Amino acid sequence: MSEVDRRDFLKTAGFATAATAAPVEAAIPRSPKQISPEAVGMLYDSTLCNGCKACMSACKMANNMPADAVPESLSGWNKGTWDSPEDLSGRTLNVIRLYRNGAAEVKDREIDGYAFVKRHCLHCVDPSCVSVCPVGAMSKDPASGIVSYDPDVCIGCRYCAYGCPFGVPQFDYTDPFGKIAKCQFCVHLQKQGKIPACCDVCPTGASLFGPVKELEQEIGRRLAAAPGTPYAFARGKIGGDRPPNESTIPHYTKAVYGEHEAGGTQVRYLAGVPFPDLGLPKVGSQSPASIAEGMQHTLYHWLIAPIVAFAGLAFLARRNMAHGRPDDEPKS
């Protein structure tokens, strides 16, 4: 789809939002899933991010991912630059992207300003990828809520990539034996008592790891403080022993991304510019998985409908096959 077309679409979406934003109310959706009390998550504060991309290279090293580059046709002056992915891919689990407008003079300002955003899996409370995977290769840990991927089960259908509301899972198309790549909160490091690589190296605390409950309280504190107030921003893990980043409260948009989106996510965003500018899509608060599963469960409840239908069809077919073998030529 061309950009122009996309914009047209968004514009129309503007004057018809009332209709589309409304969730599907019918009896169809199944009840939404609830967040686990022990859920872990991340807070990404766009106003603290200075675009150093340390998290990107730390992520590559921690997860043994190969370097990625902008496709040559798009790379312009920086052709061949080592590891310069412009988006998530089968080789990139985490990417920092830039929003810029006009003269791009002031950080975190919408007009003539710029801002950063970090893109990776949001670890949905009710994840679409888990719901759509036909073989259960995507699973959500009932306690930590981490959504992880098992390449030994995956058949490579890429429904997870198509269905994720945030465009996260990516198949590696360059490899004849490719697999899906997606952030898994560095489960392997957590098992060793460490924290995810991106939060570990973030110098400003823009990426902060911790239990979702504590992160929610932290978000509340930041939004409650007046802009300009001195504030100690935690780094690494919330409640950890690292020296904080002493700074001041910025002008937040007062909205939290991830609290309700797609039924809620374990990654939350704070920013100084509106989220759609950062490429964080406008997603309703209803989890898409609950709509699709609700429909399936309604149609296939205990397989009653198919069994009844089969009985009816079989009865009619049998009665109408007076000659025993249906494919006999009619005896006329």
Partner 1 sequence: MSIAAPLRSKLITPTTLVLLALAAVGFYFLLERFLYGLGAVANINQGYPWGIWVVFDVIIGTAIGCGGFAMALLVYVFNRGDYHPLMRPALLSGLFGYTLGAVAVMFDLGRYWHVYNLLLPWHAQPNSVMYEVALCVMAYVVVLWMEFSPAFLEGRAAGGFRRFVDRWMWAIVALGVLLPTMHQSSLGSMLLVMGYKLSPLWFTLWLPALFVISALMMGYGIVMFEATVVSRSFGLPSHRALISKLSVVVGLITVAWLALRWGDLYARHVLAFACVVSVRVVMFWIENALFLAAALIFIVPAWRAGRRASFLGAVALLAGGSLYRLDAYLIGYTPVTHWSYFPSVPELMVTIGMIALEVLLYLVFIKTLPVLHGRPARR
Binding residues for ligand SF4 restricted to 134-153, rule: CB under 6 A: 134-135, 137-138, 147, 149
**Which string of x and - marks every residue 175-194 that binds ligand SF4 (by CB under 6 A)?**
-----x-x------------
Backbone angles phi, psi at 124, to 5 degrees: -55, 150
CA 58 to chain centre: 20
Which C-beta is closer to ligand SF4: that of 178 or that of 240?
A: 178
* Cβ burial, residue 195 (10 Å; 0-12/13-18/19+): buried
CA 107 to chain centre: 25
The two tokens of residue 295 are: 């429909």
**Which string of x and - marks every residue 85-124 that binds ligand SF4 (by CB under 6 A)?**
------------------------------------xxxx
The Cα–Cα gap between 247 and 249 comes to 7
- Cβ 56 to partner 1, closest distance in Å? 16
Give Cβ neighbours of residue 1 (< 8 Å, ≥ 6 apart). 9
**Residue 160: strand, helix, or coil:** helix
Backbone angles phi, psi at 258, to 5 degrees: 110, -15
Stretch of 4-12, 126-134, 209-217, 298-306 contacting ligand SF4, by CB under 6 A: 126-134
Contacted by 281, from partner 1, ligand SF4, none: CB < 5 to 8 Å by type: partner 1
Indicate whether 16 belongs to the interface with ligand SF4 (CB under 6 A): no
Q: Applying CB under 6 A, which residues contact ligand SF4?
A: 121-124, 127-129, 132-135, 137-138, 147, 149, 154-160, 164, 166, 168-169, 180, 182
